Amino acid sequence: MTHAIVLIEAERGAMSTLGGQIADVEGVAECYSVTGAWDFVAIVRVRAHEQLAGVVQDGIAGLSGVVRTQTMVAFEAFSQHDLEALFAVGE
Q: What's the predicted TM-score (pTM) here?
A: 0.85
Neighbour count for residue 60 (Cβ, 10 Å): 23
Q: How far from the centroid of its chain's Cα atoms is residue 31's Cα?
A: 6
- Residue pair 33/85 in contact by the 8 Å Cβ criterion: no
Taking the C-alpha atoms of residue 49 and residue 38, their distance in angstroms, rounded to an integer, is 24
Taking the C-alpha atoms of residue 48 and residue 88, their distance in angstroms, rounded to an integer, is 30
Domain boundaries, the chain: 2-87
pLDDT tens-place string over residues 40-72 = 999 999 999 999 999 999 999 999 999 999 999
2-87: CATH topology: Alpha-Beta Plaits (3.30.70)
